[in-house]
A and B are shown apart, each in its own frame.
Chain A
């Protein structure tokens, strides 16, 4: 009987006050969703990559060997080397160019290649341009000792004439069942696409039956084989370098043409996650704080607004405990529903975001269980505390006190504001509305906090979006480029002076050219070259690969791991992708002998790039060295220039004897990673924060409207029109909005600067070629933009106040006047 009375009173209270009940539901739903999203994203890390790597038996090192230098038996024997825990292969491998027989549809979402070399004469990278070479491996089945290939659709290619492709790596739409042409192979054979697959190692784009590979090899290209390894120690660059050195030493000289280490893949993924962290943490904190703030104020206000009712319940015999229970239940019912809905919403929305970013790993991620438990329990606990405090207080009050408490605000508050604002030459409803919040300073503070947090989030999101866009454009870095080789692809022929002049002339007249770098690289082990072009570096080696640049090489986008790119002659950058570079630290001077010239150069920085030489320097540093010859040009394109069209036009302009190919610089660098940052996460959190802020304003205005209903009646009785009433009530939120703008704009800007600087201080994620963070990335706010943002805060406030304002305008004056 007693509990029935409590339940009846609670359900009636919730049912009669539908708007506050709905507000509690919405606030708890939005708050739970924001809390769940924020916590999940803040705790997410590259464990997903590691999990996927382990599940698919990923290879820690993938080596491409020249079949003419190392036999299959020699390669297979390397599995017994000390430190090798597992090996797979050799698998036949080659590189192909594919064209589609279909009309090119929308390109599948691409992915950045991990640890792939820039093709300085090497024909191996997986790049996102139509004319680029794709690595194809002959695998008898998708599974093996290492590197399980994930078959997503279709079936495995087991017969000649069939091919499985990675749809993310192939730059055109190739539906299963369609035919693709291997344009680079003799006779241009056609293959049928029988399945979609992907490798966690990301170093190949297609798979065929092993017997198919030989027929796909370009004319004159060496036969290659792929070996895969795991080691007992391969967690760091130096360990990976040592592992590679052992493999290299066990094979004939020059057998290894290229390699990919999982360390770089892992680092890139971690870097991407690391870049996400500052942004996500900032937003997650804002969302959590706002959720807590709004929930507490809404719930407490809902109870306080019921004090009169509480007094009536007490007067008819409810005990203090029963009163408290009534209101905990009355608040708890919509709160529980809201928390459940919000948690479900968070799970529904978070999972696709996370899995979308990790679809490459082909693993299904779920929100950690502890988050799915902690968020609803935490929000309910917060609700309980927020409701219990005023409910307990009301329970202890005498009935008469409860009836009179929590009604019209105490006299004396806000009088000065009314007088001051009344003197302004503004319509009376506006001045009355602007002054009203001061009658309830505590509640106005909550409204102020809600709008401030919401506006701060909007300012931060806007600035971050602009900064990220500018970073992903790489500032001055080339986003697209083409590579010019003399002679056949992969031969690294030196350009004759006449050819250099031809190239310079062609580039000078080619529209769309942003700049270019001439490249002189000493050959990789095993390549035929002039013997005088052998760099000797004491403590490193007698035949050390070296790459010299003339021109705007810095704009290629490097994965700079320390220091900065060289800025003049006498400076070098060390490529730590090579073994034996551990002692070559930034600031150290080294002596280089190349082409009969001995130079002393200072190490200014380190990069990680398996595709270039151990030493990277300017042409001027090696001035006078015999054999120093251009064997490649990298040409940067202006923004908006279509690479395929440019390539075709430049090829025509150069004529015979030159090979022009698309490349995408920065693929092994970090600049491209900025595109990995999921701005949709930031946008979603921003929307949730703005919704929470709007709900906070709605609730506060609603409470104020109910408290001041009698005053509203008086205003209407003396002639305030409905429109004037709406204006006055809306202005209740305008004062906090204006104050919020004063606080939130500088706070959002400061937070943006802090986040960007936190990102820049992590040397593994931001190329240091600029020396300092580009101003264009930091200074993203304009006066006009800030004005619009301030208006956004006003918009949030007005949106929250409009509902109660309309209700106030439509309410019956006579009823309002009887409320005393």
Chain B
């Protein structure tokens, strides 16, 4: 299998000599997979996501995304990598309150230098697809949590990234809204979007991911096919605890 994302012996320490947030983690994600990363608080889930997104750098090991060694990129190249290769969805949306919905969605495209007309067309397409086209000139402060998360999803997809990274995408919304968000993500994955999803909810993992990777104390505790939506049985993974 040619992995779209490949982590090899990745370690992350926030303090020299301290307990590693990630400890020699190796993980491969194929194109089109939907992987749920689970674990208790402090297990390293968000750290792993941040490393793949290039928001942070590992203390050791290698991270390869679409054939690119992410840990070796400079800050400027990382920014460009994030524009093109990665779409980030955050738990608390992280929208800019002083920009309209459309401006928020357009931002990555504008930073990437996408021609204005093409960017606007893609923006309209995404907003309509996500059912929030009527809010294009509205400010995020006036939207519900679910609507804001849809805006965040649209922003993440504007540049057609290779990977969609979602950190607790339903953590800040109610159950019903979370269900809607989940279905959205499921639909995206069904259309071929590679998805890495951080969640502490086994139910969410089971319903919207094809594979579940469980972290414990910075190490992969298990790597199984998620039951329900796709995949069967356990899946061996490097770095899993004996």
- B90 contacts A by Cβ under 8 Å: yes
Query: Is the CB–CB distance between B111 and A724 below 8 Å?
Result: yes
- A551 contacts B by Cβ under 8 Å: no
Residues in B whose Cβ lies below 8 Å from that of A419: 100, 103
The CA of A418 and the CA of B107, in the complex, are separated in Å by 12
If A428-B111, A717-B82 touch, whether A422 touches B103 (CB-CB below 8 Å) is yes
- Tell me which of B72-80, B173-181, B185-193, B229-237 binds A: B72-80
B108's nearest neighbour on chain A, judged by CB, is A718
If A428-B110, A814-B50, A814-B56 touch, whether A719 touches B98 (CB-CB below 8 Å) is no
Residues in B whose Cβ lies below 8 Å from that of A422: 99, 103
Query: Is the CB–CB distance between A817 and B90 below 8 Å?
Result: yes
Residues in B whose Cβ lies below 8 Å from that of A723: 76
If A719-B82, A721-B80, A814-B56 touch, whether A418 touches B98 (CB-CB below 8 Å) is yes
- B95 contacts A by Cβ under 8 Å: yes
Shortest Cβ distance from B25 into chain A, in angstroms? Answer: 17
- A392 contacts B by Cβ under 8 Å: no
Query: Is the CB–CB distance between A415 and B139 below 8 Å?
Result: yes
A713-747 interface (Cβ within 8 A of B): 713-724
Shortest Cβ distance from B6 into chain A, in angstroms? Answer: 22
Contact of B107 among A411, A414, A439, A718 (CB under 8 A): A718
The CA of A637 and the CA of B11, in the complex, are separated in Å by 84
Contact of B76 among A429, A717, A721 (CB under 8 A): A721
Query: Is the CB–CB distance between A718 and B88 below 8 Å?
Result: yes
Query: Is the CB–CB distance between B111 and A813 below 8 Å?
Result: no
Residues in B whose Cβ lies below 8 Å from that of A428: 107, 110-111
The CA of A814 and the CA of B112, in the complex, are separated in Å by 21
What per-residue 1/0 map shows which CB atoms of A790-820 lie under 8 Å from chain B? 0000000000000000000100111001001
Query: Is the CB–CB distance between B79 and A716 below 8 Å?
Result: yes
Shortest Cβ distance from A341 into chain B, in angstroms? Answer: 37
Residues in A whose Cβ lies below 8 Å from that of B159: 719
Query: Is the CB–CB distance between A720 and B99 below 8 Å?
Result: no
Shortest Cβ distance from B61 into chain A, in angstroms? Answer: 18
A407-459 interface (Cβ within 8 A of B): 408, 411, 413-415, 418-419, 422, 427-429, 435, 439
The CA of A413 and the CA of B92, in the complex, are separated in Å by 22
Query: Is the CB–CB distance between B55 and A720 below 8 Å?
Result: no
Query: Is the CB–CB distance between A719 and B79 below 8 Å?
Result: yes
If A414-B98, A415-B139, A717-B55 touch, whether A722 touches B79 (CB-CB below 8 Å) is yes
- B141 contacts A by Cβ under 8 Å: yes
- A711 contacts B by Cβ under 8 Å: yes
Contact of B98 among A427, A439, A814 (CB under 8 A): A439
Residues in B whose Cβ lies below 8 Å from that of A721: 75-76, 79-80, 111
The CA of A29 and the CA of B94, in the complex, are separated in Å by 41
From B88, B90, B94, name the one whose CB has the most chain A CB atoms within 10 angstroms.
Answer: B94
Residues in A whose Cβ lies below 8 Å from that of B96: 711, 714-715
Shortest Cβ distance from A522 into chain B, in angstroms? Answer: 85
B53's nearest neighbour on chain A, judged by CB, is A717
Query: Is the CB–CB distance between B107 and A813 below 8 Å?
Result: no
B88's nearest neighbour on chain A, judged by CB, is A717
Residues in B whose Cβ lies below 8 Å from that of A408: 97
A812's nearest neighbour on chain B, judged by CB, is B56
Query: Is the CB–CB distance between B155 and A718 below 8 Å?
Result: yes
Residues in B whose Cβ lies below 8 Å from that of A414: 98
If A415-B139, A814-B56 touch, whether A722 touches B82 (CB-CB below 8 Å) is no
The CA of A414 and the CA of B98, in the complex, are separated in Å by 7
Residues in B whose Cβ lies below 8 Å from that of A718: 82-83, 88, 107-108, 111, 155
Residues in B whose Cβ lies below 8 Å from that of A711: 96
The CA of A769 and the CA of B90, in the complex, are separated in Å by 79
From B84, B88, B97, B108, name the one whose CB has the most chain A CB atoms within 10 angstroms.
Answer: B97
The CA of A408 and the CA of B98, in the complex, are separated in Å by 11
Query: Is the CB–CB distance between B98 and A722 below 8 Å?
Result: no
Query: Is the CB–CB distance between A411 and B99 below 8 Å?
Result: no
The CA of A715 and the CA of B94, in the complex, are separated in Å by 10
Residues in B whose Cβ lies below 8 Å from that of A719: 79-80, 82-84, 108, 111-112, 159
From B50, B55, B80, B112, name the one whose CB has the most chain A CB atoms within 10 angstroms.
Answer: B55
Residues in A whose Cβ lies below 8 Å from that of B97: 408, 411
The CA of A411 and the CA of B83, in the complex, are separated in Å by 27
The CA of A428 and the CA of B107, in the complex, are separated in Å by 8
Residues in B whose Cβ lies below 8 Å from that of A710: 94
If A428-B111, A724-B111 touch, whether A435 touches B79 (CB-CB below 8 Å) is no
Residues in A whose Cβ lies below 8 Å from that of B108: 718-719
B142-184 interface (Cβ within 8 A of A): 155, 159
Residues in A whose Cβ lies below 8 Å from that of B92: 820
Query: Is the CB–CB distance between A411 and B141 below 8 Å?
Result: yes
Shortest Cβ distance from A819 into chain B, in angstroms? Answer: 11
Shortest Cβ distance from B59 into chain A, in angstroms? Answer: 14
Contact of B75 among A415, A713, A722, A814 (CB under 8 A): A722
Shortest Cβ distance from A413 into chain B, in angstroms? Answer: 8
What per-residue 1/0 map shows which CB atoms of B95-120 lie under 8 Å from chain A? 11111100100011011100000000
Shortest Cβ distance from A604 into chain B, in angstroms? Answer: 70
Shortest Cβ distance from A365 into chain B, in angstroms? Answer: 56
Shortest Cβ distance from B194 into chain A, in angstroms? Answer: 18
Contact of B94 among A427, A439, A817 (CB under 8 A): A817
Query: Is the CB–CB distance between A720 and B79 below 8 Å?
Result: yes
The CA of A427 and the CA of B114, in the complex, are separated in Å by 11
The CA of A720 and the CA of B80, in the complex, are separated in Å by 8
A675-718 interface (Cβ within 8 A of B): 710-711, 713-718
The CA of A820 and the CA of B98, in the complex, are separated in Å by 15
The CA of A711 and the CA of B96, in the complex, are separated in Å by 6
The CA of A265 and the CA of B110, in the complex, are separated in Å by 72
Shortest Cβ distance from B230 into chain A, in angstroms? Answer: 29
The CA of A427 and the CA of B96, in the complex, are separated in Å by 17
What per-residue 1/0 map shows which CB atoms of B50-68 lie under 8 Å from chain A? 1001011000000000000
The CA of A817 and the CA of B53, in the complex, are separated in Å by 13
Residues in A whose Cβ lies below 8 Å from that of B75: 721-722, 809
Query: Is the CB–CB distance between A418 and B99 below 8 Å?
Result: yes
The CA of A817 and the CA of B47, in the complex, are separated in Å by 13
Shortest Cβ distance from B62 into chain A, in angstroms? Answer: 20
Shortest Cβ distance from A426 into chain B, in angstroms? Answer: 10
Shortest Cβ distance from B162 into chain A, in angstroms? Answer: 14
Residues in A whose Cβ lies below 8 Å from that of B98: 413-415, 418, 435, 439
The CA of A140 and the CA of B115, in the complex, are separated in Å by 94
Residues in B whose Cβ lies below 8 Å from that of A724: 79, 111
> Can you list 27 A-B pairs with a CB-CB distance of less than 8 A?
A411-B141, A414-B98, A415-B100, A422-B99, A429-B111, A435-B98, A439-B98, A715-B96, A716-B79, A717-B53, A717-B55, A717-B94, A718-B108, A718-B155, A719-B82, A719-B112, A720-B79, A721-B75, A721-B76, A722-B75, A722-B79, A724-B79, A809-B75, A812-B56, A813-B55, A814-B50, A814-B56
A-B CB proximity, top 10 nearest: A719-B83, A428-B110, A721-B79, A721-B76, A718-B108, A719-B82, A719-B111, A714-B94, A813-B55, A719-B79
Extra contacts, 8 of them, besides A714-B94, A717-B82, A724-B111 (Cβ < 8 A), are A422-B103, A427-B110, A428-B110, A718-B108, A719-B108, A721-B75, A721-B80, A721-B111
